[in-house]
Structure 1
Amino acid sequence: MGRTAPAADRFDRSIAESSDAEARRESANSRGLVTHTFVVEAPGEYAEAVARLVELAWSQRRSLFFEAVAEHWTWRQVGPHLSDPELRHLVAHSRVLRGEDLARASGSLGPELFGDIPFALQTWEAEFWDVENSPMSYGRHGSAGGFDGIPVHDVTARVGLPLPDTGATALTWTAPPPLPSWATNSGSYAEVAGPLHCTAAQALARHLSGLPRHERLTQAVPVPFAAAYPGLLKALGGQGAYTSESMALGRIAVWRLLRRMARLPDDSPADTVSEHVAGLDCLTWELPGDDIWYFHLAADHPATGTSWLVDGQDFD
Structure 2
Amino acid sequence: MITYEEHRLRSLADEGRWIELLGAYRQARAAAVALDLSEGGAGGGAAHERAAVATAPLGHLIAYAAPPEVAARLFDRDGGPGTAAGARDHDAGPLWEVLATRHCWRRLAPLLGPPPVRRLVAQTRVLLGEDLARDAEPDPEGVPLLLEPWEAVGRAERSPVREYLRDGGSRSALLTLPASREGLAPVELPAPGAPLPGQPATRALAELAGWARAVCVRGPAPRAAAQLAPGRRVTGGYLPFALVWPALVQAGVADRAHGAAHGRLALWRVLTAMTGVDGPPAAVRAEVEALIARMRCFTWEDPADRLRHLHLALEDPATGLSWAVSGSEDV
Normalising by structure 1, report the TM-score. Answer: 0.79
Alpha-carbon contact 1:47-1:77 (below 8 Å) kept: yes
Give the letter aligned to residue 94 of structure 1: T
In 2, Cα distance between the equivalents of 1:169 and 1:303?
A: 18
Alignment of 1:109-188 (within 5 A): 109-112=137-140, 115-130=141-156, 133-139=159-165, 140-150=167-177, 151=179, 153-156=182-185, 159-164=187-192, 168=194, 176=204, 188=210
How far does residue 36 in structure 1 lie from its aligned partner after superposition? 1.0
In 1, Cα distance between the equivalents of 2:115 and 2:51?
A: 28
CA gap of 1:131–1:227, structure 2 versus 1, over 3 A, is closer
Listed one character per residue, the Cα deviations across residues 54-97 of structure 1 (whole Å, up to 9, x for unaligned) are: 34466656332111111112111112111222211100111111
CA gap of 1:94–1:7, structure 2 versus 1, over 3 A, is same
Alpha-carbon contact 2:315-2:322 (below 8 Å) kept: yes
CA gap of 1:286–1:172, structure 2 versus 1, over 3 A, is farther
Structure 2 residue runs without a partner (length 5+): 1-17, 42-46, 78-82
Partner of 1:34: 58
Partner of 1:202: 223
In 1, Cα distance between the equivalents of 2:306 and 2:260?
A: 22
Listed one character per residue, the Cα deviations across residues 247-282 of structure 1 (whole Å, up to 9, x for unaligned) are: 000000111001111112275422321111111011
1:229 counterpart (234, 245, 251): 245
Aligned residues: 290
Alpha-carbon contact 1:234-1:245 (below 8 Å) kept: no
In 2, Cα distance between the equivalents of 1:273 and 1:104?
A: 21
In 2, Cα distance between the equivalents of 1:297 and 1:237?
A: 17
CA gap of 1:130–1:5, structure 2 versus 1, over 3 A, is same
Listed one character per residue, the Cα deviations across residues 211-268 of structure 1 (whole Å, up to 9, x for unaligned) are: 4xxx5434530111111100011012226xxx55410000001110011111122754
CA gap of 1:293–1:266, structure 2 versus 1, over 3 A, is farther
In 1, Cα distance between the equivalents of 2:286 and 2:25?
A: 44
Pairing 1:91–2:121 present: yes
Q: Partner of 1:35: helix, strand, or coil?
A: helix
In 1, Cα distance between the equivalents of 2:60 and 2:248?
A: 27
Structure 1 residue runs without a partner (length 5+): 180-185
Alpha-carbon contact 1:171-1:207 (below 8 Å) kept: no
In 1, Cα distance between the equivalents of 2:247 and 2:84?
A: 27
How far does residue 164 in structure 1 lie from its aligned partner after superposition? 3.2
Partner of 1:49: 70
Listed one character per residue, the Cα deviations across residues 181-224 of structure 1 (whole Å, up to 9, x for unaligned) are: xxxxx973233322x2222111222333xx4xxx5434530111
Give the RMSD, CA atoms, in angstroms: 3.1
Between 1:91-100 and 1:49-58, the stretch displaced more is 49-58
Pairing 1:301–2:329 present: no
1:261 counterpart (274, 292, 305): 274
Q: Partner of 1:127: helix, strand, or coil?
A: helix
Alpha-carbon contact 1:286-1:296 (below 8 Å) kept: yes
CA gap of 1:26–1:305, structure 2 versus 1, over 3 A, is closer
CA gap of 1:313–1:51, structure 2 versus 1, over 3 A, is same
